[in-house]
Amino acid sequence: MVDIHRTHYSNQLSDNLVGQQVRVAGWVEDIRDIGKLAFVVLRDVTGACQLVVTGESLPVAVQTPRQSAVVVSGTVQKSKARDFPYEVKVTEFSILAKAANQLPIDPTGRVESASDKRLDARALDLRNPRVAAIFRLRSAGLEVIRDTLRKENFSEVNTPKIIGSASEGGANLFGFDYFKRKAYLAQSPQLYKEQLTLGFDRVFEIGPYFRAENSHTVRHLTEFISVDVEAAFTDYTDIIDLVEKLVGNVIGEFRDKRKADVELAGLESDLSFTKIDRLTYEQCLDELSKEGEKLEFGDDLSDAALRRLGEIHRGFYFIMDWPLKLKPFYIHEKEDDPRLSKSFDLQYGYLELVSGGRRLHDSDRLKSRLVKQGLNPASFSDHLKAFDWGMPPHSGMGLGFDRLMMVLTGAQNIRDVVLYPRDTERLTP
Ligand code: ATP
Ligand code: MG
């Protein structure tokens, strides 16, 4: 029986292992057959190492289809190869799973594959070190966000994604049959997380949003991951500070501790982080008007307007104090100017990354806002009753995690930072 365990990863080969027996395991990337011996490049999750194969193992090794899974025993020696300081002189070469001779993509990335083909073979695509680096960064980003929020006394929660009625009202909901009734996929955990501030004070959820958006852009998917935060006894500027901290910590981690992966990802990303500018909506209108883009107070910032603003502010910036009428029913107005709301977006250039704000916590005011927005308070009765149980003033936000990863890895398309993207066309794999 073949021992399937490795003793070392390729990046652990070192001077003090020279002359010793090791077992390495991974996938065959390249085979160079030069007659009496062959050089084989074996890739594992940490990188690659060179194998020198002679004798009995030679005929097996040179016949191995590329990308087959193998485990190999041998002795570590110094290598003369340009790319490898060490190599393993093989004594035992075992194929664990043969790869097909014709693969759908070249996972080494030497032959460029169309992005649709790569998505169709995503698991194999991950063997490309550049792609793997992007997703390792994604995992690291989530870890930093969780750590930061825990340190700020947030509890992580999970709220249902199958819901019985439209949570925020309106369009963009996926509906489906649910035991003879109609159910929907949650667009966001907004109402649940607000209710949970009653018991937890501070909550966060990292989970999927589902939106039946018929958009064909590089920044919209029908399923995406958001970091949702809600905190009792806070105002919206506290949440702006928190967003700044979250983004700063992720950037700090990438810049200081994940340099190798950032370089491997090989994309132009912006990891120079300073304080984030805070503009108001009305300042944005002024700036746009100077650029010849005339908008009236109350107009939403169109894609074109945001692209203009993104040329003036190339990195991160906040847009605060949006007109109340542009915001959902649960957003609090500004006390000193009720035309405006206690709301903010975090932008990166033209791209919206976060929306957040102070929420209404008074049940009567919430009901009257529902009515003003053409919604029926009766359909929100489950939510509204929690407001009679001592609802604290609270604020929160939703951060589009995939979009943040686009910015921090320099990806031009959200599909490059999502393992199995879902959009209007794609439902597989
Ligand atoms: P947009 O105007 O860009 O469509 P939105 O204002 O509708 O976004 P929100 O409801 O504020 O989005 O959702 C919170 C965050 O989730 C957004 O700031 C964005 O980062 C992200 N997001 C929203 N829609 C999508 C989507 N379809 N695909 C990926 N991320 C999204
Ligand atoms: Mg938004």
Judge whether 7 and 22 are in contact, CB under 8 Å: yes
Q: What is the band of 274 on the pLDDT scale with cuts at 50, 70, 90?
A: confident
Percentage of residues in the chain with pLDDT exceeding 90? 94
Active site residue 94: no
Alpha carbons 215 and 350: distance in angstroms, whole number: 16
Phi and psi (nearest 5°) for 109? 80, 0
Q: Residue 270: is its pLDDT beyond 90?
A: no
Q: What is the band of 170 on the pLDDT scale with cuts at 50, 70, 90?
A: low
Q: What is the band of 165 on the pLDDT scale with cuts at 50, 70, 90?
A: confident
User: Cα dihedral sign for 277, 417, 143, 358?
Assistant: positive
Intra-chain end-to-end CA distance of the chain, in Å: 34
Mark whether 302 and 406 lie in a shared domain: yes
Determine the structural domain holding residue 254 and report its residue range: 129-417
Indicate whether 110 belongs to any domain: no
Indicate whether 328 belongs to any domain: yes
| Tens of pLDDT, residues 233-266 | 999 999 999 999 999 999 999 999 999 999 998 8
Judge whether 224 and 242 are in contact, CB under 8 Å: no
Catalytic residue selected from 211, 369, 394, 415: 211
Judge whether 202 and 155 are in contact, CB under 8 Å: yes
Burial 118-140 (b: 16+ CB within 10 A, else e): bbbbbebbbbbbebbbbbbbbeb
Nearest-atom number in ligand 1 for the CA of 346 is: 18
Active site residue 358: no
pLDDT, position 168: 67
Mark whether 277 and 158 lie in a shared domain: yes
pLDDT, position 47: 94
Residue 278 CB burial class (10 angstroms; 0-12, 13-18, ≥19)? middle
* Counted domains in the chain: 2
Indicate whether 64 belongs to any domain: yes
CATH at 155: 3.30.930.10
Mark whether 304 and 231 lie in a shared domain: yes
pTM: 0.96
Mark whether 231 and 83 lie in a shared domain: no
| Tens of pLDDT, residues 309-355 | 999 999 999 999 999 999 999 999 999 999 999 999 999 999 999 99
Q: Whose CA is nearest to atom 22 of ligand 1?
A: 400
Q: What is the band of 10 on the pLDDT scale with cuts at 50, 70, 90?
A: very high
Sheet holding 175-178, edge to edge: 162-163, 181-185, 175-178
User: Which of 50, 73, 97 is where one domain is finished?
Assistant: 97
Mark whether 143 and 80 lie in a shared domain: no
Mark whether 86 and 167 lie in a shared domain: no
Mark whether 389 and 278 lie in a shared domain: yes
Mark whether 86 and 157 lie in a shared domain: no
Mark whether 89 and 134 lie in a shared domain: no
Mutation to probe ligand 1, out of 145, 173, 224 (largest number of atoms < 8 A from CB): 224
Active site residue 213: yes
Judge whether 363 and 337 are in contact, CB under 8 Å: no
Nearest-atom number in ligand 1 for the CA of 351 is: 3
Nearest-atom number in ligand 1 for the CA of 352 is: 18
CATH at 35: 2.40.50.140
User: Cα dihedral sign for 182, 186, 190, 193?
Assistant: positive
| Tens of pLDDT, residues 80-104 | 999 999 999 999 999 999 999 999 9
Task: Calculate mean pLDDT across residues 8-18.
Answer: 97
